[in-house]
Structures are given as C-alpha cells and as structure tokens.
Amino acid sequence: MISIRIQNLTKRFGSTVALDDLSLTIEPGELFFLLGPSGCGKTTLLRSLAGFAEPDTGRILFGEDDVTRLPPHRRNTGMVFQSYALWPHLTVAGNVAFGLEERKVPRAEIRRRVDEALASVHMTHCADRKPNQLSGGQQQRVALARALVVRPRCLLLDEPLSNLDAKLRLEMRMEIRRVCKEAGLTTVYVTHDQKEALSVADRMAVLDAGKVLQTGAPREVYCRPVCKAVAHFIGETDFVEGRVISRGAPGQGAEIAVDTALGRFVGVAGDPATATAAGPGALAEGARVTLSIRPEAWTLRESGASANTLRGRIGECVYLGEVAQYGFVTGGGSAAGGGANSGAGGAGEPRTIKVYELNPRHIGAAARERELFAHVAPEDVVVLTR
C-alpha cells in the first residue's frame, strides 16, 4: 500500500484552469472519492494521477517516488473506465490476461493470476464468455479484475457505475468496496453520485473550479459542510440567511445564536476555523451568515415552544414508502420567543421548508388541515460564513 501526495497541482487547457494549485494527501489503503459538479476538475486530477494528463506545475508522489513526469506505463496504476473498455473479440479471461501478456509474464503465472482475479470478483464461471454475452454489472466486474490482475500500486476508477441501472449500482457499490479492501489497494474514485460517495468512501474531497473545498469522512462532510457550495452539492438542504447575535466561548462546538426572517436559531459552526478566528470571516456578533438545515433534521410535533421551532402546516407531500417528503409552510416566524420575527405567523413572508419524515405519520388531508411544529436540534443547524 502506498500514500498518494498531490502538491500544488495546476493544469490549464488554454484559458481554462482545470486544476488550481490543488493539494491533497491520500493515505495508504484508503478508498478516497473525488466528488463535485461537472467541470470541477475531478477527472483531470484522475488523469493526472494515471499519467494521461501532464500538469503545468506541481508534483505527484506515489509513496516517496515522484511520478509527475512518468508516462502511464511506468506508474503501474490500475484504471477502470466508465465505458469498461473491454476488447469485444477476446473472452473474459483474455481481457483480464491482456495486461500481463503485454508485460511478458510467463504463461503459467498468467493463468494463475487471471483465475485469482476472476475469483475475487465472482466471475470465474464467465471466463470463456465474450463481453457481448455479459450484463453491464458483469462487464464492470471484468474491468475491475483486469485492473487488479497487474498488481497495481494504486487503483483509479472513473465513474465506473454510471452506465448501470439504479438497482445494479447499489449492488456494485459495496462489491467494489469489498474488492478494493481485500486487495489492500489505495484507491481514488471519481463520481458525481453523492450517495455512492457517502456509502462507499473512507474519505472524500469536494472539488469546485479546480480547488478543494473540503476533505473529510463522509459523515463529517455531510453533517458539517464548511461552505454553501459543499452543503448545496452534498444532499438536500435549506439555506436561511441571518445575522449573529451571540456566540458561546470560542471553540469547536460552541453554540451560535442567529436572528433570521424565520426567527431565532441556535446552531454550530460548519468550519471550525470560523468559530475560533477573529477578524473578517469570523463568527463575530453582527456577522452575516447562512444557516444550512438538512430536511431529515426536522422533527414534526403537535405542540412546541422551544428554540429552533417553526409553526406551520404541511403543504406538498410526496410519499415514498419508508419516508415522506413534505413542504412545510411556515408563516415566517418561529414558535419560540426572542426572535426578531417571533410569534405565530410573524411578519416575514411565508416560506416552504423541506422536511423528511422516516416512517411517516403525517400523511393525508387531516394532517394538512392542522397546525404543526417543526423542531431542529442546535447540532443540526450549521452556521456558514461563505
């Protein structure tokens, strides 16, 4: 297992900056995801790691080896492409063996290693089939076996599940994680699918405009986004603008009180640096901020008089079996006192907030006719300064 260090990487295509002084460290054996909107630089970064794109400035190190200027065939990486890229005229075994044959590996060892690779992805029974006789999921398993059989220093995957149907993607997510962990490989995985990243990654980096916005474990990035761009891209959220009126003693986890058009909320800083810093960008009293609140963080109640509680009614309802998605229409004021617009049906304009309810109880016309209270805990109200 090796670490991968990316140091101050910049890559331009004409006037377009694809990677902008980007730095990352990926630990040995880590399953690391690159996530972001189209054009954010994630595929360019993966191609730079593989040697298919040469950066203008910066360095790439595999362990202690500087591979920045090495051609792809000298880096010994395993690559899995979105399109599978299987040879149609070769059998499954022939496709997996291709890289070993190019390396002039002895025939007996090729057979042994191909058998091992196919067994690792549960495809031994398909060894003599052609790619057109396989399902999409089976083709992806063959592509993974072909990458593993050469015993690469690291594995690079470029949106490997995007061509599969939804049910098969769910199955293959954990299959890829199992195979990568059993092989003990440092793996870099590009995707635009948030659920894929959240369910499979050890850690992830969210990119935008060639820069890293945030790195961390999936739960950390989801629950504590450091900026609006991360909160917006990862999952669903509602943004509420406001102004800081007080905060606890500086430090991570300190509660921050914010006045908004919906009333007063108490939350915590998304970026720990803003909770301890002074000056511009800090969470000082009077600072303008944005609250990020996830739909599943709300709890619907029949009564309420506590902080972080909104009074309103269910508007739109989408029933999905185990969960219901509501549009909770509030009159623009909180149910708890102390806010600038506190009180039922406050002075603010009506606002619809997304609320997800697991094992839904508030379904049907009767629920829509009565007043309800939506409550969110302070730890689920993330205060952002950018």
Query: pLDDT (tens digit, 9 = 90+) per residue, 168-199?
Result: 888 888 888 988 888 889 999 999 889 999 99
Residue 322 has a pLDDT of 83
Q: What is the dihedral of CA 248, 250, 253, 254, to 10 degrees?
A: 10
Where is the domain boundary, 193, 228, 263?
228
116 membership: H or E segment, kind and range: helix 107-120
Q: Both 347 and 294 in a single domain?
A: yes
Percentage of residues in the chain having pLDDT higher than 70: 90
Any idea what the CATH number is for the domain that residue 189 is in?
3.40.50.300
Q: Both 17 and 67 in a single domain?
A: yes
Residue 248 has a pLDDT of 74
Residue 337 has a pLDDT of 44
Q: Taking 90 as the threshold, does the pLDDT of residue 165 lie above it?
A: no
Q: Cα(first)–Cα(last) distance of the chain, in Å?
A: 37
Q: Which of 246, 229, 249, 247 is nearest to 237 (CA)?
A: 229
Residue 364 has a pLDDT of 67
Q: Both 190 and 265 in a single domain?
A: no
Residue 179 has a pLDDT of 87
Residue 55 to residue 69: CA distance in whole angstroms: 9
Residue 277 has a pLDDT of 52
Residue 64 has a pLDDT of 95
Residue 57 has a pLDDT of 97
Residue 344 has a pLDDT of 35
Q: 198 CB contacts (<8 Å, ≥6 apart)?
A: 218, 222, 234, 235
Number of domains making up the chain: 2
**Tens digit of each residue's pLDDT (9 = 90 or more) over 274-319:** 655 555 456 788 999 999 999 999 999 888 767 799 999 998 888 8
Q: Both 252 and 125 in a single domain?
A: no
**Tens digit of each residue's pLDDT (9 = 90 or more) over 348-380:** 578 999 999 887 777 666 667 788 899 999 999
Q: Both 176 and 28 in a single domain?
A: yes
Looking at residues 257-272, what average pLDDT do you find? 90
Residue 278 has a pLDDT of 52
Residue 164 has a pLDDT of 79
Looking at residues 125-141, what average pLDDT do you find? 91
Using left for φ > 0, alpha for ψ between -120 and 50, and beta otherwise, residue 142 falls in alpha
How many C-beta atoms surround the C-beta of residue 24 within 10 A? 18
Q: Which pair of tokens denotes residue 319?
A: 């029933």
SS3 content of the chain, % helix, strand, coil (to 5): 30, 35, 35
Residue 297 has a pLDDT of 96
Residue 231 has a pLDDT of 95
Q: Both 351 and 258 in a single domain?
A: yes
Q: Both 311 and 336 in a single domain?
A: yes
HSE of 96, CA atoms in CB hemisphere, 13 A: 33
Residue 252 has a pLDDT of 53
**Tens digit of each residue's pLDDT (9 = 90 or more) over 14-31:** 999 999 999 999 999 999
Q: Both 213 and 256 in a single domain?
A: no
For residue 275, give its domain range. Answer: 236-384
Distance of CA 107 to the CA centre of its chain: 42
Residue 346 has a pLDDT of 42
Q: Which of 283, 338, 348, 288 is nearest to 312 (CA)?
A: 348
Q: Both 118 and 261 in a single domain?
A: no
**Tens digit of each residue's pLDDT (9 = 90 or more) over 72-117:** 989 999 998 888 789 999 999 999 999 899 889 999 999 999 999 9
Residue 9 has a pLDDT of 97
Q: Both 370 and 279 in a single domain?
A: yes
User: What is this structure's pTM?
Assistant: 0.86
| CB < 8 Å & 24+ apart, contacts of 223-232 | 223/380, 223/382, 224/270, 224/382, 225/270, 225/292, 225/382, 225/384, 226/270, 226/271, 226/384, 227/270, 227/271, 227/384, 227/386, 228/290, 228/292, 228/384, 228/386, 230/206, 231/270, 231/292, 231/382, 231/384
Where is the domain boundary, 202, 228, 254?
228
Q: Taking 80 as the threshold, does the pLDDT of residue 345 lie above it?
A: no
Q: Taking 50 as the threshold, does the pLDDT of residue 341 lie above it?
A: no
Q: Both 30 and 123 in a single domain?
A: yes
Residue 82 has a pLDDT of 81
Q: Both 54 and 200 in a single domain?
A: yes
Where is the domain boundary, 196, 228, 260?
228
